[in-house]
Amino acid sequence: MKKWRDCIVNKDINSFELGNIWSIDDNLSQIVNEILLEINHIEFNCIAGIETKGIILASALSSKTGKPLIVFMKICYTDRIIQESFINWKSNEDGLEIEEYELNTKRKILIVDDVSQSLATFKAVKKIINKSKSEIVGYFCIANLSNANVIDNIRILSLINQEN
């Protein structure tokens, strides 16, 4: 059985690309098991996935933990949303949104995405959640390619970082 890290499309830090690693063999299961080891000290009761690849990871993690899943989308499908625009790691305008009702409950949220290069997406999610009753208790991504490992005293956990 091939390990999931061997399936990464491009490991170069400047052009890193995971590809569809979760669709090969049992990679998704391997990744989720590694994530669970990394986050075992975080007390959370909700998982937030960021479109698109973050949703895949967050869904699998939600299934394994039994914690509810909320989704941050990059498209508009209702008028009852909370939005945040930002400049992404490619210096392009981008944005996130979530339906308002998803944040009406006080929750301790673990934010999950695939790769973070500039932290812009995590920071946009933070701005949205700060407008709600919920709080972020952790950030997780498969690969943290930024030079930071915290956002406002909350750790960014990852399986791959600048040093790997």
Q: What is the CA radius of gyration of the chain?
A: 15
Q: What is the pLDDT of residue 154?
A: 96
Q: What is the pLDDT of residues 71-109, one digit of tens each?
A: 998 765 566 778 888 888 888 888 898 888 888 899 999
| 90 alpha carbon, distance to own chain's centre | 18
Tokens for 133, please give them: 């009753």
CA 157-152-38 angle, 5° bins: 15
Residue 114 · residue 141 · CB < 8 Å: yes
> What is the DSSP annotation of 43-63?
--SEEEEETTHHHHHHHHHHH
- Among residues 121, 85, 120, 79, the alpha carbon closest in space to that of 100 is found at 79
Q: What is the pLDDT of residues 3-50, one digit of tens each?
A: 999 999 998 888 889 989 999 999 999 999 999 999 999 999 999 999
- Among residues 148, 149, 154, the alpha carbon closest in space to that of 108 is found at 154
Give the predicted TM-score (pTM) of the model. Answer: 0.89
3-state secondary structure (DSSP) of residue 144: strand
Tally the C-alpha atoms within 13 A of residue 161's C-alpha that lie toward its C-beta: 13
Give per-residue burial for 4-13: e unless 16+ CB within 10 Å, then b.
bbebeeeeee
